[in-house]
Amino acid sequence: MAQLSFNLDDKVFVVTGGSRGIGLEITRLLLNQSARVVICGRKQEGLEAAAAAFKADDRLKTVQAHVAKSEEVDRLFQTTIEAFGRIDGLINNVGMNIATSLVDADPGLWNKIIDSNLNGAFLCARKAGQLMRGQKKGKIVSISSIAARRSAPFMGIYGVAKAGIEMMTKVMAQELAPLNIQVNAVAPCMVRTKFSEPFWSNADLYEQIVKTVPLGRIAEPVDVAWPVLFLCSEASDFITGQTLMVDGGASAV
């Protein structure tokens, strides 16, 4: 795997939620391909830990920003342009969930989950699209979930938000195609990160989950990061408006 190259030399990417989990792994692969990367997260200590882990000062910038706050999103992209002069790709990676049944969900909780998962992705894609428009080139990749297509009790708001991301991906892909900007998504099954730890760390639950995955395991962050890298590269220039399932075959069953 180490010799695989997507030729991202000096290209500039924004990875939202790049301080941990899947976003951190995407950042690692982008830096390994000689790209320049700006990551955001809400907590400064997470950003500092990521920066310290990579020791890539000149090619990695961190910005403390909440993706659902438009002024903070503006600052994220302004910092990117000031630091690196352009933006070649956005990876809309931020996501969170708080399990709740739909009928019992407080409207405030609905707003919080939709804000972080969908509104944030929209604000970032909108800003990135506006900047890429002038360049007539760019890639927008969002992280959806198998939950966008497979309904599951207590995952309803999250599933609605991810389904929204997939429709946003298709519409933006059409709108931006004349400008040579490709817009795609990847939809993982369970991935071994902090986000899903309560599930995979429980042996009984883990056993139940992997029974639904033909490849017989959950995903590791790198399983998601490689397909994202492909969708960020010129190798995928004729692919747009798609959601690539990264689910060990679960959706094929």
Ligand X SMILES: NC(=O)c1ccc[n+]([C@@H]2O[C@H](COP(=O)([O-])OP(=O)(O)OC[C@H]3O[C@@H](n4cnc5c(N)ncnc54)[C@H](OP(=O)(O)O)[C@@H]3O)[C@@H](O)[C@H]2O)c1
The catalytic residues are 158
51-70 positions binding ligand X, by CB under 6 A: 66-68
Alpha carbon distance 216, 155 (integer Å):
23
Question: Quick check: 248 binds ligand X (CB under 6 A)?
Answer: no
Q: Which stretch binds ligand X (CB under 6 A): 51-59, 98-106, 190-198, 233-241?
A: 190-198
Among residues 14, 26, 46, 181, which is the contact residue for ligand X, using CB under 6 A?
46
Question: Quick check: 43 binds ligand X (CB under 6 A)?
Answer: yes
Q: Which stretch binds ligand X (CB under 6 A): 17-25, 104-112, 132-140, 173-181?
A: 17-25
Question: Quick check: 41 binds ligand X (CB under 6 A)?
Answer: yes
Please give the structure tokens belonging to residue 65: 């920003």
Question: Quick check: 89 binds ligand X (CB under 6 A)?
Answer: no
Alpha carbon distance 10, 33 (integer Å):
9
Provide, rounded to whole angstroms, the least separation between the CB of residue 188 and ligand X.
4
207-226 positions binding ligand X, by CB under 6 A: none
Q: Which is nearer to ligand X, 188 or 248 (CB)?
A: 188
Query: Which residue type does 173 have?
Result: A
Question: Quick check: 22 binds ligand X (CB under 6 A)?
Answer: yes
Q: Which stretch binds ligand X (CB under 6 A): 91-99, 132-140, 174-182, 204-212?
A: 91-99
Among residues 54, 110, 154, 195, which is the contact residue for ligand X, using CB under 6 A?
195
Reported for 245-248, long-range contacts at CB under 8 A and 24+ positions apart, including other chains, are: 245/146, 245/186, 245/187, 246/186, 246/187, 246/188, 246/189, 246/219, 247/146, 247/187, 247/188, 247/189, 247/213, 247/219, 248/189, 248/213, 248/214, 248/215, 248/216, 248/217, 248/218, 248/219
Alpha carbon distance 224, 226 (integer Å):
6
Reported for 104-113, long-range contacts at CB under 8 A and 24+ positions apart, including other chains, are: 105/156, 105/157, 109/157, 110/157, 113/157, 113/158, 113/161
Q: 220: phi > 0 → left, psi -120 to 50 → alpha, else beta; which?
A: beta
Helix (DSSP H) and strand (DSSP E) numbers for the chain:
9, 7
Q: Which stretch binds ligand X (CB under 6 A): 30-38, 101-109, 133-141, 187-195?
A: 187-195
Alpha carbon distance 96, 107 (integer Å):
16
Among residues 93, 100, 233, 243, which is the contact residue for ligand X, using CB under 6 A?
93
Among residues 143, 225, 229, 244, which is the contact residue for ligand X, using CB under 6 A?
143
Question: Quick check: 20 binds ligand X (CB under 6 A)?
Answer: yes
Among residues 33, 62, 80, 145, which is the contact residue for ligand X, using CB under 6 A?
145
Instruction: Give me the residues that bind ligand X (CB under 6 A), please.
Output: 16-17, 19-23, 40-43, 46, 66-68, 93-96, 116, 120, 143, 145, 188, 190-191, 193-196
